[in-house]
Amino acid sequence: MPKDKVQKPRRPRAETPKGFRDYFGAEVLAREAMLDRITEVYRLHGFDPLESSAVETVEALGKFLPDVDRPNEGVFAWQDEDETWLALRYDLTAPLARVYAQHRLNLPTPYRRYAVGPVWRNEKPGPGRFRQFYQCDADTVGSASPAADAEMAAMTADVLEAVGIPRGDYIVRINSRRVLNGVMEAAGIYSEADPDAHAHVRGIVLRAVDKLDRLGREGVRALLGEGRRDESGDFTRGAELPEEAAEIVLAFTDARREDTAATLARLRELVGPSATGRAGIDELEAIAGLLDAQGYGTERIVLDPSVVRGLGYYTGAVCEAELTFEILDEKGRPRQFGSVAGGGRYDDLVRRFTGETVPATGVSIGVDRLLAALAAKGRSATALAGPVIVTVMDRHRLPDYQAMATELRRAGIRAELFLGGGNMARQLKYADRRAAPVAVIEGGNERERGVVQLKDLALGARLAADIDTHDEWKSQPAQVEVPRARLVEEVRAMLARGGR
């Protein structure tokens, strides 16, 4: 092949994989601040932190994700050298079941833990829907008390208010899978004597009801029947329930009434003689009473039979937190923001490892969703100031400038020595991009007189691109000359005046 025809190796494209994104300084700091507020609520309730592996065996994770049409049941999985299938965790609950089963002899009962970290789902990405996202969970393992379920709903409300969502802009909705099982028993697709029968059909029903807020009643009806074709032309096969059975399920989603007592009465009508359904209603009644005793009224937490949660491991009470304020979608149309947290009881998850039923309940906060919600309402925290920038006037005096930065750091002031090249204008442009609150300037003249120049960049409103000389910079407003020996005190005072 002629030399001029030899193909050069193709350079990799600098782009994130589909469904993933990068997070930069201010975004990471905002998430850290939010996580601090969330975990403080958890700690106040007596929960301890746990950090578990991001990788689990596929067998340990189980097949509980609702998106069963995706490869590997919605997880990112691969085969290890010993032919064991491994996967990135899809939530923080399934790993907790493994941890508790493995270390239960050394853990207190009940075991109360919170966990923070990224999770991964092999799902179809969409606007605002990513394949990697952060969760912040709290769980109680080893308690069957309805008080444990009530605590999860109460903590969810407390968390939302702690991060800046006021009352009136959210609602926590609670329900019970047992009640839904009772309804499905009435519809002929559940039997307590043979709970595995019709499991596939029930899974379709659960996923259909879980999409009620997005698809509406008629969309759910289609999924309970033959199926539904979406706007893109994709067809989702339905549960193929008889019309009478579908109406029973739809009646369940419409069972919410004007108050808790009326809703419970309507649910009792729907479950009929089902012992499972009646047990679920008694459970909801106890939870509602506990919440009412703590002052969590229906303006914060409400009983809502339309809540089912999509994950397949829930066995009892479930809850979901929804933001009720309106935002504009990508087409400029108003819509409610939707769900930002959820959880429930999963009494059978640990049993997969031990063979013994271990009661457990928990809640998971969607941190990235909450951050997006606050940003949509203009309630996100103001951008944190960058570091104080120590500029470099004379390259041969780098040790002197480094000493200034070190002094500031040792005093607890975030500081950075400019390590790029270029004139003063370039250094100040850099300080602007870094959101630096103060620039420290010391030329040869200042050095001889034992002083430094401090520029309050926040007061300077702009950094002129055409400033090339030290004298021009000194003439700008918000710049003061201070003794070199008082560098730390004067910088601290300047920061304090700006509320930084």
The pLDDT confidence band at residue 66, using thresholds 50, 70 and 90, is low
Least confident of 96-110, 128-142, 236-250, 469-483: 469-483
Tokens of 368: 């990235």
pLDDT category at 25 given cuts 50, 70, 90 is confident
Mean of all residue pLDDT scores within the chain: 87
Residue 18 counted as domain residue: no
Number of Cβ within a 10 Å radius of residue 90: 26
**Model pTM score:** 0.78
Q: How far is CA 416 from the centre of its chain?
A: 32
Q: Is residue 13 part of a domain?
A: no
Whether the pLDDT of residue 33 is over 70: the answer is yes
Would you state the pLDDT for residue 455?
92
Q: What is the mean pLDDT of residues 373-381?
A: 73
124 and 198 fall within a common domain: yes
| pLDDT of 20 strictly over 50 | yes
Residue 431 lies inside a defined structural domain of this protein? yes
Residues 31-38: what's their mean pLDDT?
A: 93
Q: Which amino acid is at 478?
A: A
Residues 268, 122: one domain?
Answer: yes
Convert the pLDDT of each residue in 336-349 to its tens digit.
778 899 999 999 88
Domain at 168, CATH number: 3.30.930.10
Evaluate whether 472 touches 455 at the Cβ level (below 8 Å): no
pLDDT reported for residue 319: 94
- Least confident among 145-154, 278-287, 429-438, 456-465: 456-465
Are both 356 and 463 inside the same structural domain? no
The least confident of 63-72, 104-113, 188-197, 283-292 is 63-72
Confidence of residue 216 (pLDDT cuts 50, 70, 90): confident
Give the 3-state secondary structure of the chain. CCHHHCCCCCCCCCCCCCCCCCCCHHHHHHHHHHHHHHHHHHHHCCCEECCCCCEEEHHHHCCCCCCCCCHHHHCCEEECCCCCEEEECCCCHHHHHHHHHHHHHHCCCCEEEEEEEEEECCCCCECCECCEEEEEEEEEECCCCHHHHHHHHHHHHHHHHHCCCCCCCEEEEEEEHHHHHHHHHHCCCCCCCCCCCCHHHHHHHHHHHHCHHHHHHHHHHHHHCCEEECCCCCEEECCCCCHHHHHHHHHHHCCCCCCHHHHHHHHHHHHCCCHHHHHHHHHHHHHHHHHHHCCCCCCCEEECCCCCCCCCCCCCEEEEEEEEEEEECCCCCEEEEEEEEEEEECCCCCHHHHCCCCCEEEEEEEHHHHHHHHHHCCCCCCCCCCCEEECCCCHHHHHHHHHHHHHHHHCCCCEEECCCCCCHHHHHHHHHHCCCCEEEECCHHHHHHCEEEEEECCCCCCCCCCCCCHHHHHCCCCEEEEEHHHHHHHHHHHHHHCCC
- Asked if residue 264 and residue 176 are part of one domain, the reply reads yes
* 381 found inside a domain: no
State whether 362 and 426 are in the same domain. Answer: no
User: What span, in angstroms and rounded, lies between the C-alpha atoms of 117 and 136?
Assistant: 7
- For residue 461, the model assigns a pLDDT of 43
Is residue 12 in some structural domain?
no
Residue 73: which pLDDT band, with cuts at 50, 70 and 90?
low
Q: Greater confidence, 413 or 331?
A: 413
Q: Is the pLDDT of residue 29 over 90?
A: no
Which of 344, 376, 408 corresponds to the end of one domain? 376
Burial readout 343-375 (b: 16 or more C-beta within 10 A, e: otherwise): bbbbbbbbeebeeeebbbbbbbbbbbbbbbbbe
Instruction: Verify that 344 and 483 share a domain, yes or no.
Output: no
Looking at residue 426, which CATH number applies to its domain?
3.40.50.800
Q: What is the mean pLDDT of residues 263-292?
A: 93
Counted domains in the chain: 2
Residue 11 lies in a domain: no
Asked if residue 470 has pLDDT above 60, the reply is no
Pair 235, 139 in one domain: yes
Mean pLDDT of the region 346-365:
93
- Average pLDDT in the 453-469 region? 63
Residue 78 lies in a domain: yes
Residues 265, 150 share a domain: yes
> Are 348 and 473 part of one and the same domain?
no
Tell the burial category of 38 from Cβ atoms under 10 Å away from its Cβ (0-12, 13-18, 19+). Answer: buried
492: pLDDT confidence band, cut at 50, 70 and 90?
very high
Q: Is the pLDDT of residue 399 over 70?
A: yes
Tokens of 455: 């520029």
- The range of the structural domain enclosing residue 463 comes to 388-497
Is the pLDDT at 312 greater than 80, yes or no?
no
Residues 187-214: pLDDT tens digits?
888 888 887 788 888 888 878 887 887 7
Q: Would you say residue 466 has pLDDT above 60? A: no
> How far is the C-alpha of 264 from the C-alpha of 261, rounded, in Å?
5
pLDDT band at 392 (very low <50, low <70, confident <90, very high): very high
| Rounded Cα distance, 376 and 357, in Å | 43
- Please identify, among 347, 376, 405, the residue that sits at the C-terminal boundary of a domain: 376
